[in-house]
Amino acid sequence: MSNIQILTPAPLANVTATTGVLDARSAVECRFNYTFMPVSDMRVIVEEDPKSGKKVCTKVLVQDEELNPTERFWTSLFARYGFNKAFFNYFDHAEVFQRISQVEKNDRMRLCIERDADGAGTLMAVSNPEKPIVVYDELMELLTKYRGEDVTYFNGIVESTHTPRTGGNKFEVAGDDFVNRFLMATPIDGYGAPNIYLSLLRLACENGLVGYSKAFKSGLALGKADDDVAPSLTRALDGFGNDEGYAAIRQRIEAAATSWASVSEAQDGLYKLLVRMHSKRAIEETQGVPVNAKVINRCLQNAGGPNADELEGTGSVILKAFHALTGDTSRLYGLANMDSLSPKRKRTLPVKCTVYDLINFATEVGTHYSTPEGSRAISGWIGTLVTDEYDMEGTKDKFGNFADFHIQAQVQSGLPGNLTGMAGTAEHTGIVKASPKALAAATGDLDE
């Protein structure tokens, strides 16, 4: 087994996100060790879970040092040797590792260890020693040279935002100014290759919209084990451009501004993601509402208006602002539980905002309130949303007034609810008046 190589000093324990980083090292305040060993030399400490009664691995021993394993460690180990956790239901860890070592021609593996200021180690990914790896120190020097912004670290990956060489001029979508950016996600633990994602920066709120999906992703080939990875990264940072990709993501954002958001996109998509982020403590609300979080500020101001009683008791600032943005869907459609609707029905019912509003709300949460883990989850949701066709694409061109669209959608669906407070135009209000049965169905007065 080789000696552990300490690559950087350990100034602080916590990882922080910064904007306009001049020295990228100040943004990723960790140190990383790389070491090599055969899989048969790995040992684990197994304890019984008091809740389930099953034996679980709590520590992994590397050179007799106890390290905390991460989900990324196990995922990369399974990928490296082609097995899964089900094997441990029938054989203990030592036997599995020993059998792999006997059969596998190359049983050596490279391990990355992340250390905090106290020296406590967390075991990150396992990788093939014959494949290249981006070393932390070299990456930080490169990001500093190319003035990487918003440099963050989480779970073995360093993310940084950059300006493309061409096409970085300002343009307008739905009254907001944007500029092109790209995000480079670089694994420093050897598991996976660097990826570049197209991104847009909304200047009014300094929110970054990242196209976290395959449609807006470009992979970087690093070569073989002995190859220098610096040239590949340098070429990407110095000359990246994707005019067709930027045109495509811009078109999707323009389409979002002309599309009412559906209950499915708002409630099943963004709302449930925000709730999960709260449960994982990936949202931080202690710093108050930033001035440049314009959408959230506007929503909170509206929350104190005529519909304030609907939002009373909502403890989270983010969730309160979300409900002010979309409206109370239960009250709109007269249902105590919106989950009782089928997925197909949810895609046909609008909320009080456009898809573009949802995207701006999400980017503000990701930029101003989220941990790096939460920001990555937000970007993933946005990437999936803009890649696919929106549930109600182009409906705002036809129904500029939400009340009009809501009345028609509710009458067509036959759902109960109160329409008397909806100030629709005469044309669409007439639809309801012309059909007593539809009105009765929409207001809940229709006999079962």
pLDDT of residue 53: 78
Q: What is the rounded average pLDDT for all residues in the chain?
A: 78
Q: Are 397 and 302 in contact (CB under 8 A)?
A: no
Q: Which of 13-27, 180-194, 309-323 reaches the highest mean pLDDT?
A: 180-194
Q: Is pLDDT of 236 > 70?
A: yes
Q: Is pLDDT of 6 > 50?
A: no
Of the listed ranges 208-212, 238-242, 281-285, 431-435, the least confidently predicted one is 431-435
pLDDT of residue 73: 95
Which residue type does 343 have?
P
Quickly state the pLDDT bin for 30 (edges 50, 70, 90). Answer: confident
Alpha-carbon span 26 to 314, nearest angstrom: 37
Q: How confident is the model over 215-224, as a mean pLDDT?
A: 85
Report pLDDT digits (tens) over 274-291: 999 998 888 887 655 555
pLDDT of residue 403: 61
Report pLDDT digits (tens) over 125-137: 999 988 899 988 8
Q: Is pLDDT of 407 > 90?
A: no
pLDDT of residue 29: 63
Q: Is pLDDT of 419 > 80?
A: no
pLDDT of residue 158: 93
Q: How confident is the model over 351-376, as a mean pLDDT?
A: 90
Q: Is pLDDT of 425 > 70?
A: no
Alpha-carbon span 341 to 333, nearest angstrom: 11
